[in-house]
Amino acid sequence: MRVSMIAAGLASAALLTGASHALAEDNEAGVPLTPAEAAGTWTIESAGHALCTVTLGAANTVKTSATCSEYFPTSPTRWQPTKDGMALTDASGQANIAFHRWSNSLFVSHRASGVDIQLRRGAKGQIGQGLPG
């Protein structure tokens, strides 16, 4: 009985070690985004709701979906790496929103209003439901 309990404990520990190793590989918190990493479609979300999509180009370009216009004072046209993530900027170079890097596929912007905005790699369904009440 003890042998089976020890074996089960070791197996669980091995699984946990593997899981933490996988998480560590995706943990890029505080690291600037490189153009090669940025290229592709990303979804802007808040409180679990997909708001709109942006496509980041390797040449620091930004294309937004039509639903993004209601979330930005001016349309983002470029992105730039920052010391701990990235920022979307308008044509004049002013940052619309800065994101702190949490992992390879997640960036977060903590807003003064208390509503966090996430930038997640990939396109999600049900875009444009608006910010939660």
Q: What is the pLDDT of residues 38-62, one digit of tens each?
A: 999 999 999 989 999 999 999 999 9
Rounded average pLDDT over 7-15: 34
User: Which pLDDT band, with edges at 50, 70 and 90, does 132 fall under?
Assistant: very low
Higher pLDDT, residue 48 or 5: 48
Q: Nearest-CA neighbor of 28 among 110, 102, 98?
A: 102
Query: Other C-beta atoms within 10 Å of 112: how many?
Result: 5
Tell me the C-alpha to C-alpha distance, in Å, between residue 5 and each of 1, 11, 13: 6, 10, 12
pTM: 0.71
Maximum distance among all Cα pairs of the chain, rounded to whole angstroms: 70
Q: What is the pLDDT of residues 82-120, one digit of tens each?
A: 988 999 999 998 888 999 999 889 999 998 888 899 999
Total count of residues recorded for the chain? 133
Q: Distance (Å, rounded) from C-alpha 41 to C-alpha 109?
A: 18
